């Protein structure tokens, strides 16, 4: 039987409190989230779910048939985060309710603090999905990953070898400063695409589509907390959903960028460059200099609107980076971390002046202003 209703996967996340400091989300918060998700499954609002954490961020992975930006789904996520924040406050956890920047829900969690990646599609015969969730970095940290997966044949052989991918991919790129976006095709417009997405301070990828039929291939969160709150309130630790196989990049092509690490902005106080460290769920905790920025990668399959589950009804979730194949990247990442930390607060270890405008640094310099004398 072919499942005719479109399936939506929603990954909605927020930092609602952590222990100790900004390191990780403790069990009691995950349990509150589980209870809310379970109840929503029983009422039929969602079809299946998986709750996990990326460092201090609580992640709600849900499947349903209500489409993207659905008010009921977003309200469920908001109410779940509010309940978790209450629990965090009762335990006096650190940063309780940190990312919940509005007093009341108003239709869509976008612009209220939480990060959202959603993808709606007609199910194929079999639908593998890769879920990325990062801590201590920003949405444009995924720019390089998306380029490697969908536009670089040295990473994704399928761009050359699979006739279904010869058409290339179309990238929807957001200019976060000007709040406008542009669609660019690779390989046809690759250099223009790279000119934008290489500028990670300003441009971030929202969606990726296969060019010939505009089949949705990837969806990314693009929250800018500083723009919402008007001041630094933590990094916009991002999430991303990537569909795999059968005319889209394979699971192995999606993960192979992490044979080596690369540098992303964030880390301590959202103010430093650091290596993107791929880790399994057991190491989903930002311990060293509040990092290094960590990346979780989970593999699932979607069938008939649900996460494929075992006989007990528990979703089968494969912890991709919990594997020796990524040991080399981890070792190289820690070598990069060690070099960068030797620079202390000096650039280039610290972010550029432009990026620092969105941190707490300007407040430290206010008193110096009147002491400067004209040269």
Give the contact letters, 134-173, x = binds to Mg ion (CB under 5 A), - = no: -x--------------------------------------
Which helix (H) or strand (E) segment holds residue 105: the answer is none
Q: Identify whether the C-beta of residue 186 lies closer than 8 Å to the C-beta of residue 169.
A: yes
Q: What φ, ψ does residue 243 adopt, rounded to 5°?
A: -85, 150
232 is catalytic: yes
Which residue stretch of 38-46, 111-119, 263-271, 321-329 sits at the interface with ligand F6R (rule: CB under 6 A)? Answer: 263-271
Among 8, 12, 13, 22, binds ligand F6R (CB under 6 A): 22
Residue 272 in contact with ligand F6R, rule: CB under 6 A: no
Quick one: what does residue 294 bind among Mg ion, ligand F6R, none, with the CB cut-off 5 to 8 Å set by partner type? none
d(CA 281, CA 298): 9
Residue found by looking up tokens 């990726």 in the block: 208
- Least distance (Å) between residue 140 CB and ligand F6R: 15
Strands 277-278 and 294-303: parallel
Q: What is the largest CA-CA distance in the chain?
A: 78
d(CA 225, CA 221): 12
Catalytic residue among 232, 236, 285, 306: 232
Quick one: what does residue 268 bind among ligand F6R, Mg ion, none, with the CB cut-off 5 to 8 Å set by partner type? ligand F6R
- In 15-168, DSSP assigns E strands to 48-54, 57-64, 115-121, 127-135
Residue 20 in contact with ligand F6R, rule: CB under 6 A: no
Among 235, 243, 272, 285, binds ligand F6R (CB under 6 A): 235
Q: Identify whether the C-beta of residue 180 lies closer than 8 Å to the C-beta of residue 173.
A: no
Two tokens at 228? Answer: 């919402």
Residue found by looking up tokens 């969606």 in the block: 207
Quick one: what does residue 290 bind among ligand F6R, Mg ion, none, with the CB cut-off 5 to 8 Å set by partner type? ligand F6R
Which residue stretch of 32-40, 153-161, 195-203, 266-274 sits at the interface with ligand F6R (rule: CB under 6 A)? Answer: 266-274
For binding to ligand F6R (CB under 6 A), which residues are involved? 21-22, 136, 234-235, 268-270, 290
Q: Which positions are annotated as active-site residues?
A: 15, 232, 235
Contact positions toward Mg ion, by CB under 5 A? 15, 22, 56-57, 95, 135, 237
């Amino acid at each position: 039987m072919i499942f005719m209703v479109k399936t939506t996967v929603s990954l909605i996340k927020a930092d609602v409190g952590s222990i100790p400091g900004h390191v990780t989300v403790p069990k009691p918060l995950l349990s509150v989230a589980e209870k809310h998700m379970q109840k929503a499954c029983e009422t039929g609002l969602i079809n299946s779910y998986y709750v996990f954490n990326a460092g201090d961020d609580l992640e709600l992975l849900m499947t349903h048939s209500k489409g993207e930006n659905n008010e009921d789904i977003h309200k469920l996520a908001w109410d779940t985060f509010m309940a978790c924040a209450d629990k965090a406050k009762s335990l006096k956890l650190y940063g309780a309710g940190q990312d919940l920047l509005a007093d009341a829900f108003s239709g869509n969690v976008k612009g209220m603090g939480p990060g959202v990646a959603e993808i709606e599609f007609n199910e194929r015969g079999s639908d593998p999905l890769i879920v990325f969730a990062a801590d201590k970095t920003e949405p444009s940290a995924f720019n390089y990953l998306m380029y490697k997966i969908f536009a670089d044949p040295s990473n994704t052989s399928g761009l050359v070898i699979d006739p279904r991918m010869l058409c290339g991919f179309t990238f929807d790129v957001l200019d976060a400063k000007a709040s406008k976006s542009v669609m660019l095709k690779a390989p046809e417009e690759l250099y223009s695409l790279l000119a934008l997405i290489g500028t990670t301070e300003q441009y971030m990828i929202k969606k990726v589509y296969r060019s010939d039929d505009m089949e949705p291939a990837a969806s990314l969160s693009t929250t800018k907390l500083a723009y919402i709150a008007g001041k630094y309130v933590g990094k916009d630790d991002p999430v991303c959903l990537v569909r795999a196989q059968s005319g889209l990049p394979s699971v192995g092509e999606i993960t192979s960028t992490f044979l080596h690490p690369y540098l992303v902005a964030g880390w301590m106080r959202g103010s430093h460059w650091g290596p993107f460290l791929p880790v399994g769920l057991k190491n989903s905790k930002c311990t060293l200099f509040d990092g290094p920025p960590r990346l979780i990668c989970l593999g699932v399959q979607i069938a008939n609107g649900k996460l494929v589950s075992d006989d007990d009804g528990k979703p089968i979730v494969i912890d991709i980076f919990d594997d020796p194949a990524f040991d080399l990247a981890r070792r190289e990442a820690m070598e990069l971390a060690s070099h960068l930390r030797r620079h202390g607060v000096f650039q280039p270890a610290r972010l550029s002046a432009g990026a620092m405008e969105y941190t707490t640094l300007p407040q430290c310099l206010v008193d110096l202003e009147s002491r400067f004398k004209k040269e």
